Amino acid sequence: MRKDIHPQYHEITVVMTDGTEFKTRSTYGQEGDTLRLDIDSKSHPAWTGVQRLMDSGGQVSKFNKRFGGLKF
Strand runs (DSSP E) across 1-72, as ranges?
A: 10-15, 21-26, 34-36
The residue with greater pLDDT, 1 or 13, is 13
pTM of the model: 0.56
Alpha helices, DSSP H only, in 1-72? 45-48, 59-67
Q: Decide: helix, strand or coil at residue 55.
A: coil
The residue with greater pLDDT, 44 or 65, is 65
* pLDDT surpasses 80 at 72: no
∠29-42-26 over CA atoms, to 5°?
20
The mean per-residue pLDDT over the stretch 47-68 comes to 75
What letter represents residue 50's amino acid? V
d(C-alpha 37, C-alpha 33), whole Å: 13
* pLDDT surpasses 80 at 22: yes
